[in-house]
Amino acid sequence: MLSIRPMRTALFCLFVLSAGPALAAPACPTPKNMTFQFDHKLYRDVLGFTEGLEYHNHDLYESTGALGGGTRLMRLDAKGHVTLLNDSGDKYFGEGLTFLGNRLYQLSWQDHLVFVYDQNFKLLRTMKNPHEGWGMTNDGHYLIFGDGSDRLYYAEPGDFAIKSSITVRLGDKTMNNINELEYVGGKIYANIWMTRTIVRLDPKSGCIEAAADMNSLWTHMTGTEKDYTQSDGDFVLNGIAYDPDSRLFTLMGKEWPMAFVGRFVDQ
């Protein structure tokens, strides 16, 4: 999706930008503070408007939106070399992606389509999505995706039938703009669109359990990198991938030339 509001920072702004009305359900506990411990940067040789990001077989896979180079599926190796796997141009606006079984699933934004690829990245079929498509991940059984609201949906991988949903909550408020997703250790990590905040939430209750102010990433940028990432309102933080081998996260931004590798730690 396109950025339409100024960049906001800090957990307080989550209430201002994204929190909805109070719920009748018991309030979620106050989230813990979470920090990102920086390890290193990964530079890439082809840019992308990052919408979905996930590790698979030691490589990073990325779904991009139809800006810049268009909607693409790309593979990034450990040295940042990018291989183009599929290019849809501006026919669709690509969004989240995830691997489940021997299939790759990719969402489109407002086309209400889900693309299913085989292990050789050949398009096998499409499925209908009754909602907008934003971020996507999976828990080993269901595809889990958002639509920009305060809801996350659980869908069958065979036909994308919605089986259940949860409301994402911060305290006694609902939380909108849940974007790119990553399922790790029984929890979901999520970008909050148009903020510099990443949250970790419980996939059963929807409660946000921890939140990280990601302003620390900009301290690891050169002056030129800072200027570039802040030169366009669309170049926001987006993209979370977890490597189970190294146990490190890789974080990206839309059209960023670099990614940040490290780990999240509760304070």
Q: Where are the domains of the chain?
A: 28-266
pLDDT of 37 over the 70 cut: yes
What is the signed CA dihedral for 114, 120, 122, 123, rounded to 10 degrees?
A: -20
Coarse DSSP helix, strand, coil percentages of the chain, rounded to the nearest 5 percent = 10, 50, 40
Residue 15, pLDDT > 90, answer: no
Give the whole-angstrom CA distance, residue 134 versus residue 147.
Answer: 5
pLDDT at 143: 98
Per-residue pLDDT for 19 more than 80? no
Q: Which of the 8 DSSP states describes residue 215?
A: G
The upper half-sphere exposure of residue 220, i.e. CA atoms within 13 Å in the direction of its Cβ, equals 18
Q: Where are the beta strands (DSSP E) in 193-257?
A: 197-201, 208-213, 237-243, 248-253
pLDDT on residue 26 = 83
Say whether pLDDT at 188 is over 70: yes
Strands 178-184 and 187-192: antiparallel
pLDDT of residue 142: 98
Which CB contacts under 8 angstroms, 24+ apart, belong to 115-123? Answer: 117/73, 117/86, 121/73, 121/85, 121/86, 123/86
Phi-psi region of 43 (alpha: psi -120 to 50; beta: other; left: phi over 0): beta
Q: Does domain 28-266 have CATH number 2.120.10.30?
A: yes
Cα–Cα distance, 137 to 31 (Å, whole number):
22
Full-model pTM? 0.92
Q: What is the pLDDT of residue 18?
A: 59
Instruction: Please say whether the beta carbons of 137 and 182 come within 8 A.
Output: yes
Q: Kindly tell me if the per-residue pLDDT of 6 is higher than 70.
A: no
pLDDT at 13 over 80: no
